[in-house]
Every structure is written in structure tokens, then in C-alpha cells.
Amino acid sequence: MIKYIVEFFTNCIIQKSFTIACEKDRIRIVQYFFRKLTKMNPKYDFTESVITSALSCSELVFKFLMDQKNSYSFDHFLQHA
């Protein structure tokens, strides 16, 4: 049980750090967390991260995320347009 709780909070910290890095245009941190998140879950949904980077004008991060071979929820994009 404790193992799952620790895993849960570790994943939350990684996801929150990834979101902040996307917002602040920290490309190397984004690349590191991108690899870590895709290793943990190959079908991780990066749609929210792409939107965050676009809205905060983080060009390098936005380009990096769009260049990756991921599927994004375009319905979600349209909701933020």
C-alpha cells in the first residue's frame, strides 16, 4: 500500500514539474521528463502540455512536443482555442 502511495506522489511531482517546465520554456527539463513520462506510460497524453506551452509562448517546448510521435486530443485543442 505504501509503495503505491509513494509511486502516486512521485508521479504527481513529475507531472507537475513537467507542466511548469513547459510553461517556462525549459527545453532540457522537458526533454528529460518527456522521456521519463513515456517510459512510465507509453500512451501518456501530452495534449495539456502542448496547450500550456503554446499559451505561454514557449516556442522550443511547443516545437519539441509537436515533433514527437504522439497522438493528441484535437477536440481538447479546440476547447482552448
Q: For 5-48, what is each residue's pLDDT tens digit?
A: 656 656 778 888 888 888 999 999 999 989 988 888 888 888 88
- What is the structure's pLDDT at 60? 94
In which residue are the cell numbers 479546440 written?
78
- What is the structure's pLDDT at 43? 84
* Domain-wise residue ranges, the chain: 2-79
Q: Is the dihedral of CA 15, 20, 23, 28 positive or negative?
A: negative
- What is the structure's pLDDT at 5? 62
Q: What is the mean pLDDT of residues 74-81?
A: 64
Question: Are the CB atoms for 5 and 21 separated by under 8 Å?
Answer: no
